[in-house]
Structure 1
Amino acid sequence: MLDRLNEALEQVERDPGEPVDVAAMARAALTSEHHFRRMFSTLAGMPIAEYVRRRRLTLAGAEVIEGRDTLLDIAVRYGYGSAEAFGRAFRAMHGVGPGEARRTGAALNSQSRLTFHLTVEGNTSMRYRIVEKEAFRLIGPKARVPLVYEGVNQPMVDFVMGLGDAVHERIEELSDQEPRGSLAVTVAHDPDQREGSDIDYHQAAATSAAEVPEGMEALDVPAGPWVAFQFDRVNFPEGIQRIWVYAYSEWFPSNPAYRIRQGPSMVKAEYEGDLAGGEVWMPVEKTGA
């Protein structure tokens, strides 16, 4: 999987001025566009479009400083329709316009070329299971919060803490199937899942209940397979957040028969001070590999 991802990224280097065709890159990686976007953002820490923009302007910056071609020629070569559009993008990344950079030999920012590798460590292991689930519902209160990859998501914490004991007890009562109990459920709206983008956060129960209590919402989830990663006594929230990195950097490349599918992610956790144990559930689908 990672070899195919690296081959897909070669398109950026070969044709830096061509429009970004993420669907074609996903096909080159033999996966879905949804999986490709999520995998790239998780591993690189930025969306694929942002990486392409930064690589494009890094290469263009070198040519601007070199001074052989006109600024307009460079702009066109790297996919910009006008010198003005190129100038705005150049300044946004480098903090200086291309003309000034050429005149003064200004120091420019650089986006290194990304290559993904799978590092196998003998002491790294994660228990997981594949669970086939029938269609079910997630019922509970919902809030719109920003996506945070590292550290405490304070709006999320404030939302959960403000629900009150009666609401948490009602969620527990609604739970009638795996994963049992009160779940942290996230649904992303940005296909690139950029840091700070909006996500729907549900404090919810997996249930077959038809009735939705007042103040709660229902999210209908179709039937399909899930991968459930088990964790025990990890630091909260960093230990749980690292499971997503582990999944995309190690588990999916090592298990090419599965890829992520669209749907909510669910976390079932029990807390003991700053430590947590439980499971992270990710919706997957078979690739046919």
Structure 2
Amino acid sequence: MEWLERMNREVDYIEANLAGEIKMSEVARVACSSSYQFQRMFSFITEVTLAEYIRRRRLTLAALELQQDGTAKVIDIAVKYGYESPVSFARAFQSLHGITPAMARHDGIEMKAYPRLSFLITIKGAEAMNYRIETKESYEVFGIEGIFRIEGDGDAPQTPAKLWEQSHANGDVKRLESCAGELPMFVSRDLHSVHALCSYRKTGPDTFPYMLCAFKDESSNTEGYTSVTIPALTWAIFPSDPHPWDQFNETIEKLYHRFYTEWLPSAGYEQVKGMEFEMYGEKNGLNYIELWFAVRKV
């Protein structure tokens, strides 16, 4: 259960520093992973981003202090929990609690409390989760790279979804398809030519790389594209059921969620640097997805 222990140690660090600075580099050190990898796991498991969890917990504690200490100044509590001014604190406080900080001191006022999270293994339904473990030799991919902020607040395109949208609209996906080589023998013949690769190199503490990519062979035209060598790795591969296009987002989110909440905590594997592939294909006129996670035994 080392994976769960690490996740809980990370929450311990966050909780101990809610009234202070939370360093993502320290979160990564405690987690023995990258900041991006931890924040990604956190959001898929809890269905809330790490930044939002921290915001809710700080405003929960701030409300308790306002109720319990009638002499505490709002500006002091605002600064304690990371807000630069009473105005920004009041705006955030009212957004969460529906009242102003001053009103929180009154008897009978209703507010929201978000408790500390703990990570546990729970027994769920008996729905099967199909997967396979495959070891691949080194190979190369190439494609269109974007660097994104973890919270999605960077320069445009702001998210991988935006990169896909823009690349379809301007014809970049079609051009990449035309430059791709043959699919390698170790992947399904039902897969398309263009896929997505994530977290294949370090960028920054709060950013991650994401690439629309194709497999490279002797016939590929890689001019103008970013090339990446994928080292020999073991992959845990999770295929989806075939689905219509309008169910794509629901399907991929469910695969990610089940990987992090059901398979990874008890499988005896851990992720390797967070590297992932999203493979897209088609069967009998329906779409399907394969999520590839680089893993190693623990």
The corresponding residue for 1:221 is: 229
Query: TM-score, normalising length from structure 1?
Result: 0.72
- Give the CA RMSD over aligned residues: 3.9
SS at match of 2:241: strand
- In the alignment, structure 2 segments of 5+ residues that lack a partner are 147-155
Q: Distance in 2 between the 1:101 and 1:251 partners?
A: 43
1:205 aligns with 2:209: no
The corresponding residue for 2:121 is: 118
Q: Distance in 2 between the 1:220 and 1:99 partners?
A: 55
- In the alignment, structure 1 segments of 5+ residues that lack a partner are none
The AA in structure 2 aligned to 1:127 is: Y
1:67 CA displacement: 4.1
The AA in structure 2 aligned to 1:246 is: R
> Per the alignment, do residues 171 and 117 of structure 1 end up closer, same or farther by CA in structure 2, a change over 3 Å counting?
farther
The corresponding residue for 1:249 is: 261
Question: Is this contact kept in 2: 1:135–1:221, CA < 8 A?
Answer: yes
> Per the alignment, do residues 201 and 166 of structure 1 end up closer, same or farther by CA in structure 2, a change over 3 Å counting?
closer
Question: Is this contact kept in 1: 2:28–2:34, CA < 8 A?
Answer: yes
1:140-151 → structure 2 map (5 Å cutoff) = 147=159
The corresponding residue for 1:277 is: 288
CA offsets per residue over residues 143-177 of structure 1, 9 Å max, x none?
A: 875548xxxx6874674477499747625644345
SS at match of 2:102: helix
Q: How many residues align?
A: 275
1:186 CA displacement: 4.7
> Per the alignment, do residues 70 and 268 of structure 1 end up closer, same or farther by CA in structure 2, a change over 3 Å counting?
same
Question: Is this contact kept in 1: 2:141–2:227, CA < 8 A?
Answer: yes
The corresponding residue for 1:108 is: 111
1:57 CA displacement: 0.8
CA offsets per residue over residues 253-273 of structure 1, 9 Å max, x none?
A: 223442142545331321545
CA offsets per residue over residues 114-146 of structure 1, 9 Å max, x none?
A: 23333344333221223333141224x678755
Query: TM-score, normalising length from structure 2?
Result: 0.71
The AA in structure 1 aligned to 2:101 is: P
Q: Distance in 2 between the 1:24 and 1:166 partners?
A: 42
Taking every aligned residue pair, what percent have the same amino acid on both sides? 25
1:38 CA displacement: 1.8
Question: Is this contact kept in 1: 2:198–2:277, CA < 8 A?
Answer: yes
The corresponding residue for 2:93 is: 90
CA offsets per residue over residues 76-117 of structure 1, 9 Å max, x none?
A: 543556655544543454454312443586543443432333
Moved more, 1-10 or 81-90: 81-90
